[in-house]
Amino acid sequence: MADIAFLLIVFFMLTAVFTSTQGLRFQFPKDDPSQLNVQPEEAIHIKIASEGQFQVDRVAMTIDEMGSYVQSKMSQNPEKPVIIQTDPEVPYYVMIDVFDLLKQLEVKNVSIPTESEIARWRALGFLE
């Protein structure tokens, strides 16, 4: 009897997978063409290069410098939008680190454009 009990224990221990059910949540904005005019010009533009270096508004920074830069901009304007443009070859966790940092700093307006959106903005002349 104890053998069977132990077999059952082992079975349930192996099938219990501790899955994560929490993460970063966000909403896509309405696909509104008028919003395009506002964002790229006055937004903080964070560019993540393929090696993982950060360029904030054209200035190379480390992640801590970026944190204080964003924080100082936020204290002047709490509604300041931030754009995270990530190079396709960058590992995913780098973008998550930046996004997490922005969420910690309570940035309300984070924009993570996809490649097709970036191409569209470039065609409209908003990005370099």
Residues of the shown chain interacting with other proteins in the complex, contacts defined by CB under 8 A: 1-2, 5-6, 8-9, 12-13, 15-17, 19-28, 31, 52, 63-64, 86-97, 99-101, 103-104, 112, 114-117
Of 23 and 125, nearer to other proteins (C-beta) is 23
Chain-centroid distance, C-alpha 58: 18
Q: In angstroms, what is the minimal distance from the CB of 94 to other proteins?
A: 7
Length of the chain: 128
Of 76 and 116, nearer to other proteins (C-beta) is 116
Tokens of 76: 């002047």
* CA dist list (Å): 125 to 50, 85, 116, 119, 121: 23, 16, 14, 10, 6
Of 12 and 34, nearer to other proteins (C-beta) is 12
Q: In angstroms, what is the minimal distance from the CB of 33 to other proteins?
A: 15
Q: In angstroms, what is the minimal distance from the CB of 98 to other proteins?
A: 8
Per-residue H/E/C for 39-80: HHHHCEEEEECCCCCEEECCEEECHHHHHHHHHHHHHHCCCC
Q: In angstroms, what is the minimal distance from the CB of 54 to other proteins?
A: 9
